[in-house]
Amino acid sequence: MEVGPLGPTGRVIATVALAAMVPWYLLAGRAIFTSDEASWEKAQTTWRSWVYLSGIVVLFAAVQSQNLNAWFLALRSARSASM
């Protein structure tokens, strides 16, 4: 079920925001997720983890504001990550 029509401008904004999540993860998030336990505990209290999380929230909010069906992507990725 589609919530509403998605115009060309909204489609471009959503696509760019989704595409920006990949380099954002590679540049800012990958080092946090692939670190050992001691580094992981340190990363939880540093600014880097907060910057990464804030960036992902902003990018996903841009997608969500253009296409209300995008929430399905978060549910789908969370479900496959937990398996």
pLDDT per residue over 17-68, tens digit each?
989 988 998 888 887 777 776 776 766 677 777 888 899 999 988 988 887 7
Higher pLDDT, 57 or 79: 57
Angle between helices 47-66 and 71-82 (to 10 degrees): 130
* Contact indicator for 43, 35 with CB cutoff of 8 Å: yes
Q: Residue for token digits 């990725």?
A: 77
- Locate the domains of the chain by residue range: 8-82
pTM of full prediction above 0.75: no
Residue 82 confidence (pLDDT) above 60 = no
